Amino acid sequence: MSNRECAIKVKGVSKVFGRGVSAFYALNNVTLDIFDNEFFTLLGPSGCGKTTLLRLIAGFDAQTEGDVLLRGKDISHLPPNLRSVNTVFQNYALFPHLTVAENIAFGLEMLNQPKAKITATVEEMLALVHLTQFKHRRTNELSGGQQQRVALARALAPKPEVLLLDESLSALDYKLRKEMQIELKRLQSATGITFIFVTHDQEEALTMSDRIAVLSNGVLQQVGSPHEIYNRPANQFVASFVGDSNVMNLSEFDVNKNGEDIVMQYNGGKSFQVNAGEAEGEGEGEFCVTDALLIVRPEKAFLTVGMGDSVLKGEIHDISFLGTDTHFRINLSTGKNPPKVFVVRTQNVDYGGCLFSVGDHVGIDFHPQAAQFMRERAS
């Protein structure tokens, strides 16, 4: 991966709003490499700084510290109109006084391209987003999904080096959003342009991205492929923001070292072994029981009937049927009040009704490899 060419390099960028005591770090020393021809997603809750980073790359705001490089060239001090970077805005920002075709032609006209070339590119873009029959319409006569596609075509028409998409799908309804996710992916591979997509929707990020950067409070938490982000979250924030997680404190377990392995047991249940090296994780240092967490994804755990031999035991407190899945909320039998809740998700693969009902005593099992360990407080 590292020998791929960088489309955008973000080097130690910070953005501070306000001064002195009231200074607020919207971005804190963020360093990122975004590769050429990549679908890259900035993921995080609202206020995490992802839109701020996007605006810095676009050139609408200036960073307080650090540099932004486009193909190795420092663009930190260039205004937006001199950066070969286009933006698809959250509210589309289509020009209401222009038609669909005129909107798409806008950037090309501003670049003073010859008329014939503009016409050809506009036709090509209209075809690409399936809007050829709407080219003479005003943008306010279009549906949300169509407006979205005009915004995309307008930003793609000048063939920028990088396309920025700011929460571009959040205004669409569920069905349309699903369609557009596939559409965006298709456009990205058809045009070969680097996409930087900003979203707070983890599912969207996992579906579309080649790589994801997770941000929280202006600090970069983890960068990696959707697979890495989901299966090997770097810290508790990533684990709980991307997907659901059952977080358990390791101090609740009986932990014993057995050579290279660590043997764990919870409240008299079945013991399980994990490799100590694995448990330590990458560069996490000494394995320390007191401040470490064990995280199990709900879909990686399964229920067993009765109180037989299982890692955890409990009583089903709540069952929610979600069509494809069923979520079980189980109160672990620890005798504590309030009880510790563990969530198990099962796919509804069978035809009959649910095997379990509220109040049943069940066991919970998971493969030792499903357990992920991390420190309680990430850097």
Partner 1 sequence: MNKPEVNTTRAHESVLEASIEKAKTRRNIFLSTPALIVLVLAASGPLFIMLFYSFLTPGDYGGVVWKGSIEAWFKVFMRRDIFEGTLLPADAHLSIFWRSVKLSGLTTILCLIFGFPTAYFIATRPKRQRNIWLFIVTVPFWTNLLIRTFAIMELIRNNGTINKSLQALGIIDEPIQMMYTDMAIAIGMTYVYLPLMILPLYASIERLDFNLLEAAYDLYATRMRVLRKVIIPLVKPGLVAGSILVFVPSLGAYVTPRVLGGGMHLMLGNLIELQFGQGKNWPLGAALSITLLAIVMGAMMLYVRSVNQRANNND
Q: C-alpha 320: how far from its chain's center?
A: 25
Buried b (16+ CB within 10 A) or exposed e, 16-42: eeeeeeeeebbbbebebbbbeebbbbb
What residues line the site for partner 1 (CB under 8 A)? 58-60, 79-82, 85-87, 89, 91, 93-99, 106-107, 110-111, 136, 154-155, 158
Of 110 and 355, the one with the shorter C-beta distance to partner 1 is 110
Shortest distance (Å) from residue 27 CB to partner 1: 19
Residue 2 pairs in a beta bridge with: none
Nearer to partner 1, 74 or 141 (CB): 141
Written as one letter, the residue type at 3 is N
Cα–Cα nearest to 198, from 29, 13, 5, 56: 56
Provide the minimum distance between the beta carbon of 59 and partner 1 in the complex, in angstroms, as a whole number: 8
CB of 157 to partner 1, least distance (A): 9
Closest approach of partner 1 to the CB of residue 60, in Å: 6
| Minimal distance, residue 164 CB to partner 1, in Å | 9
State the Cα–Cα distance between residues 267 and 256, nearest whole angstrom: 14
Q: Least distance to partner 1 from the beta carbon of 185, Å?
A: 23
Nearer to partner 1, 58 or 234 (CB): 58
CA separation for the pair 247, 195 (Å, rounded): 34
Task: Please compute Rg for the chain using Cα positions.
Answer: 25
Distance of closest approach, residue 42 Cβ to partner 1, in angstroms: 18
**Residue number, 2 or 112, with CB nearest to partner 1:** 112
Pairing of strands 24-35, 6-17: antiparallel
Question: Between 107 and 233, whose beta carbon lies closer to partner 1?
Answer: 107
Per-residue b/e over 323-347, b at no fewer than 16 CB within 10 Å?
A: eeebbbbbbbbeeeeeebebbbbbe
Q: Strands across the sheet with 254-258, in order?
A: 254-258, 261-265, 272-275
Instruction: Give the residue with the Cβ less far from partner 1, 111 or 276.
Output: 111
For partner 1, the closer of residues 164 and 187 by Cβ is 164
Q: Got the DSSP string for 274-337?
A: EEHHHHH-TT--S--STTEEEEE-GGGEEEEETTSS-SEEEEEEEEEE-SSEEEEEEEE-SS-S
Q: Which is nearer to partner 1, 168 or 236 (CB)?
A: 168
Nearer to partner 1, 87 or 181 (CB): 87
Q: At 72, give phi and psi (nearest 5°).
A: 80, -5
